[in-house]
Amino acid sequence: MRSIHSFLGSWIIASGAAWNTDVHNQIGFMAETFLNKYTKSILEHVLEPQYNGSIGRAAAWADAFAHTKEGRYSYQWHWIDTHDDPPAMCALNYAYDCSEGGCVVSAIANQTNILKGCIEDVKSGSLKNGANLTCSYALKWVSHFLGDIAQPLHASGLAAGGNFFNVTFGNVSTELHAVWDGYIVYSDANVSHPFSNTSISPFFSKLVSRIHKDDFIQPTHSWLACSDPSAALACALKWAHESNAWTCGYVYSQIHNNKDLAASGYARGAYPIVELQISKAALRLGTWLNKLVEHRHRSDQQVVFGGGGHD
């Protein structure tokens, strides 16, 4: 077992619920490597100046915002609570599982639609330097939610996405959701400190190289089978189904006898899954934003209920 438990314990105590925001930052930095120059030049005017045009620096904002009084309406946009029974049965029904106030699927669809208009405003010269917070928020939400939807327990309702499923990891008592949000990633990367929030870290740079080499348990080209922003609802739903399937395929099916998940082989078996899902999120985000900016999409997208549509 990798000697990570002392880092995990001290890091969680020090940083509270937002201990894995660095992973969101890294997904954003990975996605930036897939952005073309024109896309970058447009997006830097959508984001507020403090982000220096970097979606990596902005990708973790949504978690902190959701825990403020101003942003608590967006809290439930980070997941979709399925009514299934993993590992015996995994299924997702959008009409039933996406709550009235929205979910990660509807939020991706609606914030993508808002962002589309913001990009056109930048092109026309009516939006500069992140002056429209609605637009900056939309880009930050899209950058964050394409990461969230790739995490299997953000597409699972059992035990509130694993938040009430107690486990042990590296001698630390925690919840299954936290294990998938960050513990497994830290263990896989063999790090003793958080990842950078200003630039891409070596573990994630290697994932980018692997994407280019098509070196994953699923072919890279298949990740983009649904990547048209005009079909945002359908694509987000497809991505959620993929993540949900992992809760039966591995997340819950490999937990046995209350063993320490870092030492039992569970974490090691999860490494390829986490690497795959993080890489999917990054490539999809970069591709999504390029297509929005290059206008390689239809113009008939509809806003759906929940997830921040226009009033």
SS3 of the chain: CCCCHHHHHHHHHHHHHHCCHHHHHHHHHHHHCCCCHHHHHHHHHHCCHHHCCCHHHHCCHHHHHHCCCCCHHHHHHHCCCCCCECCCECCCCHHHHCCCCCCHHHHHHHHHHHHHHHHHHHHHCCCCCCCCHHHHHHHHHHHHHHHHCCCHHHHCCCHHHHCCCEEEECCEEEEHHHHHHHHHHHHHHCCCCCCCCCCCCHHHHHHHHHHHHCCCCCCHHHHHCCCCHHHHHHHHHHHHHHHHHHHHHHHCCCCCCCCCCCCCCHHHHHHHHHHHHHHHHHHHHHHHHHHHHHCCCCCCCCCCCCCCCCC
Sequence length of the chain is 311
> What integer pLDDT is reported at residue 301 of this predicted model?
44
- Give residue 71's pLDDT: 97
pLDDT at 242: 98
Whether the CB-CB separation of 249 and 242 falls below 8 Å is answered with no
Q: Which residues contact 116 (CB under 8 A, 6 or more apart)?
A: 229, 292, 297, 301
User: CA 27 to CA 108: how far, in whole Å?
Assistant: 16
For 40-46, which contacts have Cβ atoms below 8 Å and span 24 or more sequence positions? 42/119, 42/122, 42/123, 42/293, 43/139, 43/289, 43/293, 45/122, 45/127, 45/128, 45/129, 45/130, 46/115, 46/118, 46/119, 46/122, 46/127, 46/130, 46/135, 46/136, 46/138, 46/139
**For residues 1 and 72, what is the distance between their CA atoms, to the nearest angstrom?**
38
CA atoms within 13 A on the CB side of 194: 19
Q: Are 141 and 74 in contact (CB under 8 A)?
A: yes
Query: Would you write out the chain's pLDDT as a tens digit for each of its 311 residues?
Result: 334 444 554 444 333 333 389 999 999 999 999 999 999 999 999 999 999 999 999 999 999 999 999 999 999 999 999 999 999 999 999 999 999 999 999 999 999 999 999 999 999 999 999 999 999 999 999 999 999 999 999 999 999 999 999 999 999 999 999 999 999 999 999 998 899 999 999 999 999 999 999 999 999 999 999 999 999 999 999 999 999 999 999 999 999 888 999 999 999 999 999 999 999 999 999 999 999 999 865 444 443 445 554 33
pLDDT for 19 equals 35
Cα gap 117→303, rounded to integer Å: 13
pLDDT of residue 2: 38
Contact between 297 and 291 (Cβ < 8 Å): yes
- Looking at residue 8, its pLDDT comes to 56
Domains and CATH numbers, the chain: 21-294 (1.10.575.10)
pLDDT score recorded for residue 98: 97
